[in-house]
Structure 1
Amino acid sequence: MKCNGKKITAVIMSLAMGAAFMTGCSGTGNTAAQKTGNGKSVVTVWAGGSDNVRVQFEKQIETFNASQDKYEAKLEFITSGTGAEGLFDRAVAAKKAGQTKTNFDVIELGGDEVTKYISEGGEDFFVTLDRSKIPNAENLKVESTYRNDLVIPYRGTTVVLAYNSDVVKEPPKTAEELYQWIKDHPGRFAYNTPSSGGAGGSFVVTSIYNYLPEEALTSSDESWKEKWGEGFDLLKELHPYMYQSSGKVVYPNKNQGTLDLLANKEVDMVPAWADMALTQMKQGTLPESIRISQIDPSFTGSPVVLGIPSIGSNEDGAYAFIDYMLSADAQNIALDSMAAIPVIDYSLLDPELTKTIETLKVDSFRMSSLGTLGTELYEEWDKEIGTLQ
C-alpha cells in the first residue's frame, strides 16, 4: 500500500495543532511565567466556591496589582455547583500527566484537603514553604492543622446556625437541643444535600461523628464506617421533620439554597457558613431578624489555606502574593467583603470590622478531615437519606 507523504504530514500537523489547542484551553499547559504588557510577571491564583469568595479575591488582587511593580496576579475561579471540573481534579490531573511550568502558581484549598492533594498528587505536589519569603507570617495567630510545612492559612471559616430571631427567641445551645427543636417544629428546619455544599455536609458529618470519638473527625481510617450506623439512624429519625414542599421532604441544593429558604421565611433555622450568612446580613439580602449562633459540640470549621504547587511557573510571584494575603490590608478586605475570619493579630485590623466576627475565633474551630471517607459518607447519605420518601 502506498502512503501519500503530504497527507501524512498534514495529518500530523493537524493533530499537533489540536493537542496544542486543547492544552491551551485547559490553562495548564507547559509554559514559562507569562509577562504582561508592562513587563510584570504573571502569577495565576486558583480558587473556587461561592460568589463571595470570588468577590473577595477580585478586590484583593486589584489591590495587590496596584501595589506591585514586579508581579501581576490573575484569578482563575471555579464557581461551585456549576458542573465544571473542580480545582482539585484539574490540578491533580495536570500533575499526573507530568505537566510542569503550568499556570497553577497559587491554589486555595480547605485546610482539611491537604492530605487529599498529597494522597492523589504525591508528596511533592506542594512546594515546601520557605517562611523567610513570607515576612507577614510573623503576625499569624493560627497555623494549618495539616502539613503546616506545605500550606499556610489566610482566613478562617466555620458552619453555624442561622435563624430568624423573630420566631426563634432562644436558639438551641447544644446538638441535642437542636435535634429536639427540629422535632418540635416540623418543616421549619432545612439543610442542603451534603455533596452540594459544606454547610449541609457539616450538619451530616457532625450528626454522625458526634457518636464517635473526637479523633475520628480527623481520620480516614475505613474502620470508622462500621460505626456510622447510629448517626444515620438519627438522620433517618429527623427526616420527616425537615422542610417540605408539595407534601414531600426537600433537601435544598447548595449552601445558598437553605439561606434562600431562610430569607423567604419558608424555614426558621438552617446550618450556614458564617461568612456567607454575615455577608448577606450586611448586604441586606437576609432580613434584619436573622442571627447566627454556635452549638456544642459545634459544627465543623477550618482555616482556609494557600499552597504553591510544584508544577507552577512563578514561585517567586506566588510567595509575593501569599505574603500580601497575610497583610492587614488583605485581611481587612476579606473581613469587609465576605466576613472572613482573620488569621493574624486582630490588633492590626480595623476594629469596626472585627466587631462583626468577635465571637468567632478560628483557633477554637472544630476540625474535620475525613479524606476519601468524606466522599463515601456523602454517597451513603444519598442512598440512605436522599432516597427516603
Structure 2
Amino acid sequence: MKSPRLIATLAAVAAVGVTLAGCSPSGASASSSDGSDKTLTVFLSADTNIQDLWQKTLIPAFENDNPGYTVKVDFDLHGAHDQQTVAKLTAATVQQKDPGYDLVDAGFVTQVAASGLLTPVTADQVPALADVPQTLLQAGGNGGVPYRGSSVVLAYDTTTVPTPPKTLADLLSWIKTHPGRFTYCAPSTGGSGASFVTTVLDQSLSADDRTTLATEAAPQLESGWDAGFATLAGLNASVFQNGVYPNGNSQVLDLLASGQISMAPVWSDQFVTGVKNGQIPANIASTQISDPSFTGGASYLGIPSASPRQAGAQKLLSWVLSPTAQALIADSISGYPVISLDKLPASVQALFPNADIANLRPGYFSANAADMNKAWAQKVPGK
C-alpha cells in the first residue's frame, strides 16, 4: 500500500502533465538493471559551483579510489525544472522503473524524503552517519543525508561601508539610505537571495510559525508573509538599478567584486572560495546579521528508492561522508564538514573554528520555499 504522502505527491505528476512512460530526468525512457551496474548518475539541481564540485573534484577522486566505477552528472541549473523532476521521480517510484539517476543533490531532497521516494539509510550501510549530528539527520527526514553545510552572510565593500549593519533592521535602513548599492538574486535562482527573502519574511512571524515553516509544509501560515513581501516590494527603488535582481548567486558576487554594488547576501562557501581564488578582492569582507540572522544549514543527498543500483549509490554516498571527501569539499567550496572536525586535517579544522552546523538557522521546508519563490515573483519585482 502506498503511503498517504506518496499518494499526495502523485498530484504533482498530474499537475505538470508528466508522461509516465519516460521517467528519466532527461526525458529518455528508463532502463532496467540488475543492480550490479557500476555506472552511476548524480542528479544536481544547483548553481555552477556545485556542478564543478562534483565534476571536477568529487567524481574524479571517487573513481580513483574505486576502480571500475564511473559516475556521470545530470545537471539542472538553479533547479529550473524541480517540479518536473519531482513528478518524474514520483512516477518512477510508483511504476518501479529506473528514474535514470542514483543520487540526488537538490533542495527538494527533504520534500521527496517526506513523500517516501528515497531509500532510508542507517549507519549499518553508511558507517559515517554515526559522526553526523542527529539534528541534521532528523531534518533530512526519511532518506535525506546531509553532506555539506554553509550559511548566508552579508558581504560588503570595506571602502564604502566602514561599519556594516549588525541587524536586519539596520540592513533594511542602510539599503534605503544608499540606493542602488545593494541587491540579491531572485530567490528561485539562488539560495543567497532566498535566504534574504526568508529572513525579511521571518521578521514578521512568531518563533513557532518560523519553526513550522522550516520543518513541514504549512500553506496555512503563508498569509503571514504579507508584511514581509510589502517590505521587499518597498525596496525596489533602492535596489541596484531600480530593482535589478541577478540570476543566481554567482552574478551577485560578480557585481560586488566589480564594485557595482557595495553590499549583498552571499553564501559563506562561495565567498571564502572567491577570496581564495582571487575572484573576491581584498576590500570585500563578510559578517553575519542578527534579529534574525540569515539562514544556513546542510545540503542533502538522497538515493531514489526506484534506482536499481542501490549498492553502488550507497558506496558513493558513504564515500562522500568520508574524511577524504569532506576535506575535498572544504577545500574546493569551503563547505562546512558534517562529520566530526577531529577526523579531518588540521588545515580544514582551522577553516571552521566557530562553525556549529547543527545550530544554523534553517530555511523553509522545500514546499514552503517553492511557494515563497512564486509569491515573490508575483509581489515584489517592479512594484
TM-score range, shorter chain: 0.7 to 0.9
Distance 1:145 1:160, change over 3 A: farther
Letter in 1 for 2:31: N
Secondary structure at 1:295 match in 2: coil
Aligned residue among 274, 285, 295 for 2:289: 295
Aligned residue among 115, 120, 137 for 1:128: 120
Secondary structure at 2:106 match in 1: strand
TM superposition shift of 1:91: 4.9
Larger gyration radius, structure 1 or structure 2: 1
Aligned residue among 251, 262, 266 for 1:272: 266
Aligned residues of 1:159 and 1:301 also touching (Cα < 8 A): yes
TM superposition shift of 1:101: 3.1
List per-residue Cα deviations over 1:143-187 (Å, max 9, x = no partner): 234244412111012211111122222222211111122123222
List per-residue Cα deviations over 1:246-276 (Å, max 9, x = no partner): xx33222222222111011111110111111
- The 2-side partners of 1:70 and 1:178 are apart by 52
Match of 1:227 in 2: 224
- The 2-side partners of 1:357 and 1:191 are apart by 25
Aligned residue among 87, 96, 101 for 2:98: 101
- The 2-side partners of 1:43 and 1:265 are apart by 42
Secondary structure at 1:196 match in 2: coil
Secondary structure at 2:173 match in 1: helix
Distance 1:332 1:22, change over 3 A: closer
Aligned residues of 1:30 and 1:99 also touching (Cα < 8 A): no
Distance 1:378 1:136, change over 3 A: closer
1:32 maps onto 2:27 in alignment: no
Aligned residues of 1:104 and 1:311 also touching (Cα < 8 A): no
1:242 maps onto 2:239 in alignment: yes
Distance 1:326 1:25, change over 3 A: closer
TM superposition shift of 1:24: 10
List per-residue Cα deviations over 1:359-386 (Å, max 9, x = no partner): 4331221112244332332222222221
Aligned residue among 157, 160, 165 for 1:167: 160
- The 2-side partners of 1:23 and 1:340 are apart by 29
Letter in 1 for 2:335: A
1:253 maps onto 2:247 in alignment: yes
Distance 1:360 1:165, change over 3 A: farther
Aligned residues of 1:31 and 1:102 also touching (Cα < 8 A): no
Aligned residues of 1:139 and 1:345 also touching (Cα < 8 A): yes
Q: Which moved more, 1:89-98 or 1:292-301?
A: 89-98
- The 1-side partners of 2:70 and 2:170 are apart by 50
Aligned residues of 1:31 and 1:103 also touching (Cα < 8 A): no
Letter in 1 for 2:38: S
Distance 1:263 1:138, change over 3 A: same
- The 2-side partners of 1:233 and 1:253 are apart by 22
Letter in 2 for 1:139: D
Aligned residue among 26, 35, 38 for 1:41: 38
Q: Give matches, 1:315-334, under 5 Å.
A: 315-334=310-329
Distance 1:24 1:169, change over 3 A: closer
TM superposition shift of 1:21: 9.9
Distance 1:118 1:341, change over 3 A: closer
- The 2-side partners of 1:100 and 1:253 are apart by 35
Aligned residues of 1:32 and 1:102 also touching (Cα < 8 A): no
Aligned residues of 1:43 and 1:103 also touching (Cα < 8 A): no
- The 2-side partners of 1:27 and 1:173 are apart by 50
Secondary structure at 1:313 match in 2: coil
Unaligned runs of 5+ in 2: 1-19
Aligned residue among 179, 182, 186 for 1:186: 179
What's the RMSD between the two structures over aligned residues?
2.6
Distance 1:147 1:21, change over 3 A: closer
Match of 1:12 in 2: none
Aligned residues of 1:46 and 1:76 also touching (Cα < 8 A): yes
Secondary structure at 2:137 match in 1: coil
Match of 1:77 in 2: 75
Letter in 2 for 1:335: A
List per-residue Cα deviations over 1:290-333 (Å, max 9, x = no partner): 11211111111121111111110210111111111111100011
